Amino acid sequence: MMRELWKRKKMLGFKKFDSLLSPPIEGQLSSDLFVNEQVLQNSFHNCSDFMIRTVSVTEKTKILFIYLDGLTDSKTLDEVLLKPLLLEVSPNELESVFTLKQMIEQKILAASSIKSVSKVNELVNCVLKGNIGILLDGEPSAIIAGMQKNEQRNIEEPQTEVSIRGPRDGFTESLKTNLSLLRRRIRSIRLKFESFTIGELSQTDVTMAYIEGIAPDSLLREVRKRVEQIQIDGVLESGFIEEFIEDVPFSPFPQIQNTERPDIVSANLLEGKIAIIVDNTPFVLILPMTFWSGLQAVEDYYERFLYTSFVRVIRYILFNIALFLPSVYVALTTYHPQLIPTSLLISVAAAREGVPFPAFIEAFIMEIVFEGLREAGIRLPKAVGSAVSIVGALVIGQAAVQAGIVSAPMVIVVATTGIASFAIPRYNLGTAVRMIRFIMLVLAGVFGFYGIVVGFIALTIHLVNLRSFGVPYFSPVAPQIWTNLKDVLIRPPRWKTNNRPALISGKDKKRIPAHQKPGPKRS
């Protein structure tokens, strides 16, 4: 090795040789295979998973294979490339380097993804993604073969978005698998995938999916601009992207929807929205998002519209209960007892007779305990998480009532509020409701109903002024769009949804031709 190094130095000159061994990362590959090997070893210094394999095809011709152990399928490398090259190719076919390169690219290498690179940084980035780099003696370029090891989780039903009716497949951590799940549902050349690489160190693959002609051009330009402006060292999950591109970072309400379900993403793409798929995470971002889409469940569009409309009305009622019930109870019992019927007031007063805390402090303590039980149930292992949360709530509630620390009506109010919050389909919207519930509770404890009214007005003003990529968050209610209002409070029949959402879709606004109402034919 040292003799070879000394010979090369004398032949090329010491300064020139040293400059070749430490080129800039954007530098070109050398035609000297030995120099390229030293450059790559310097680049992957202290990387124990970096593998170099040198193969002598003839006395004059050598080939260098570089890859990362664990990311590259070494078994495929042996069977697809090394075995044919060493055992099945005659030496007479390998008299020149050009012939060898052409033979590897066109005859020997049985890989679907092959390309050629000439810069050091391009070669390094390709190897870091699990590809194999092939360098030939006398060639100032490298062949890149896609032989990544595809170790991934199987396609399973999403655990965070369980549905009674609908597909059971969910996204995985593999970007290619996720794209294929979307392509299986929308088999059109109008479905486009634009790729980005984000993260200086992670080099994470990010794909923007949309349907050409349905997604508005202005929205596409805005999303491209925001994604391309992201400068970060690493992207580990789609939440990293979400925080960089949302409109109002300090709003408690989510402005970008996330989901594990390919059918939800496909349905939103057909409405003109855009999806952002990030490698190594099953959660896909959908934008823009409105307030009403956060209250729509996946079954809303699979069950018959009569059932769905009834359940959706119930869901809106439960949403208001989750947001206002504790604060209304505190305001009534503390400042406005005259609004409570006499018989109910006597019952509540009797239950609160031995409680040492005001209603506001009592409600605040119970809400904190309930949130603690909910968080503990999420963080604990599945085998004991649900049991701890249920048993803990029963034991603590019963013991607190018997000890006279809290009243039984307060336990009922907090439990009803918690059940109502579980009916919100989107976890991030439910979290926003939980945060605002504490604010409403404080306003009710200080000002009574006046505080609740002021908080409701401030909340409404915030929601009306909020935007998600230029789309009003409260649309189609504010601004009011009559043609889209029918899919807010209730779910209309499928044959009545003739047009796509007006503020989201692009040129192609027609979804279903008119006059498709089913019924018996009249003779």
Within 8 A by CB and 6+ apart from 61, the residues are: 94, 97, 100, 136, 137
Residue 5: pLDDT band with limits 50, 70, 90? very low
Percent of the chain with pLDDT over 90: 47
Pair 319, 281 in one domain: no
Pair 242, 312 in one domain: no
Pair 221, 272 in one domain: yes
Whether the Cβ atoms of residue 287 and residue 468 lie closer than 8 Å to each other: yes
Q: Could you tell me if residue 237 is inside a domain?
A: yes
User: Got the DSSP string for 44-66?
Assistant: TTT-TTEEEEEEESSSS-EEEEE
Edge to edge, the sheet with strand 257-259 lists 191-198, 204-211, 274-278, 284-287, 257-259
Q: Could you tell me if residue 218 is inside a domain?
A: yes
Pair 320, 282 in one domain: no
Across the chain, what does the average pLDDT equal? 85
Pair 366, 223 in one domain: no
Pair 197, 318 in one domain: no
pLDDT value, residue 471: 93
Pair 140, 23 in one domain: yes
Pair 332, 468 in one domain: yes
pLDDT value, residue 279: 94
Pair 431, 308 in one domain: yes
In three-state secondary structure terms, 349 is helix
Q: Could you tell me if residue 502 is inside a domain?
A: no
Residue 6: pLDDT band with limits 50, 70, 90? very low
Residues 59-77: what's their mean pLDDT?
A: 80
Q: Could you tell me if residue 355 is inside a domain?
A: yes
Flag whether pLDDT at 2 surpasses 50.
no
Q: Report the b/e string of 172-196 with b at 16+ CB within 10 A.
A: bebbebbbebbeeeeeeeebeeeeb
Containing structural domain, residue 412: 303-472
Number of domains in the chain: 3
pLDDT value, residue 107: 56
Other C-beta atoms closer than 10 Å to the C-beta of 122 total: 19
* Comparison of pLDDT for 385 and 514, the residue scoring more: 514
Dump pLDDT digits (tens) for 231-268. Answer: 999 999 999 999 999 999 999 999 999 999 999 999 99
pTM: 0.87
Pair 214, 309 in one domain: no
Of the candidates 133, 129, 166, 165, the one whose C-alpha atom is nearest the C-alpha of residue 149 is 129
Q: Could you tell me if residue 170 is inside a domain?
A: no
pLDDT value, residue 263: 95
Residues 308-337: what's their mean pLDDT?
A: 95
Residues 225-233: what's their mean pLDDT?
A: 95
Whether the Cβ atoms of residue 407 and residue 333 lie closer than 8 Å to each other: no
CA distance 422 to 122: 49
Pair 281, 315 in one domain: no
Pair 87, 209 in one domain: no
Flag whether pLDDT at 95 surpasses 60.
no
Picking from 431, 447, 472, the residue at the C-terminal end of a domain is 472
Q: Residue written as tokens 């032989």?
A: 147
* Comparison of pLDDT for 433 and 78, the residue scoring more: 433
Of the candidates 337, 170, 201, the one whose C-alpha atom is nearest the C-alpha of residue 263 is 170
Flag whether pLDDT at 90 surpasses 60.
no
CA 376 to chain centre: 24
